[in-house]
């Protein structure tokens, strides 16, 4: 069994940003040499997430509006009593999910026809990373 670990680094330009990372994950899978197995993709920050969905600008905008309605910025979250100001970002990350596990078949990501992998940043404009752990044979 092969276990291969790599990292993706982000320095987002906006406070909230969604970035397609499918090709980066596919490149890491190729580099790993795994032909059959899985890849775990996990945000390593508690205000960022990883999810799988369609790569369509209207849908990405809808996600951004949806998480803002569920966890609006600017509220007096109890978390802010610790000196932080990003309570909404923690909640948004939980809503979107922090990691995904994807199948690898014949050395390639085995995604559906419209499935893409995204990094969702909710407290950006600083250095962040994602761990990519490829496991298989």
Sequence spans of domains, the chain: 2-136
pLDDT at 76: 87
Rounded to whole angstroms, how far apart are CA atoms 14 and 86?
A: 14
What pLDDT sits at residue 37? 98
CA distance 137 to 135: 7
- The domain 2-136 belongs to what CATH superfamily? YjbQ-like (2.60.120.460)
Give, for all 137 residues of the chain, the pLDDT tens digit. 999 999 999 999 999 999 999 999 999 999 999 999 999 999 999 999 999 999 999 999 999 999 999 999 988 888 988 988 889 999 999 999 999 999 999 999 999 999 999 999 999 888 999 999 999 99
Distance from chain centroid for Cα 47 = 10
Residue 84 pLDDT: 86
Other Cβ atoms within 10 Å of 28 Cβ, number: 22
Query: What pLDDT is attached to residue 126?
Result: 87
- Distance between CA atoms of residues 26 and 49, nearest Å: 18
Do 67 and 73 form a contact (C-beta atoms < 8 A)? no
Please, what is the Cα angle at 121 between 115 and 126, to 5 degrees? 140
């Amino acid at each position: 069994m092969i276990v291969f670990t790599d990292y993706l680094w982000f320095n987002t330009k906006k406070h909230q940003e969604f970035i397609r990372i499918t090709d980066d994950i596919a490149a890491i899978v190729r580099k790993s040499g795994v032909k059959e197995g899985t890849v775990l993709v996990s945000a390593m920050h508690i205000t960022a997430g990883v999810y799988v969905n369609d790569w369509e600008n209207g849908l990405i905008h809808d996600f951004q509006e949806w998480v803002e309605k569920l966890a609006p910025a600017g509220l007096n979250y109890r978390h802010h009593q610790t000196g932080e100001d990003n309570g909404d970002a923690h909640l948004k990350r939980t809503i979107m999910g922090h990691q995904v596990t994807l199948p690898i078949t014949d050395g390639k990501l085995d995604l559906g026809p419209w499935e893409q992998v995204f990094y969702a940043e909710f407290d950006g404009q600083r250095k962040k990373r994602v761990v990519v752990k490829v496991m298989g044979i």
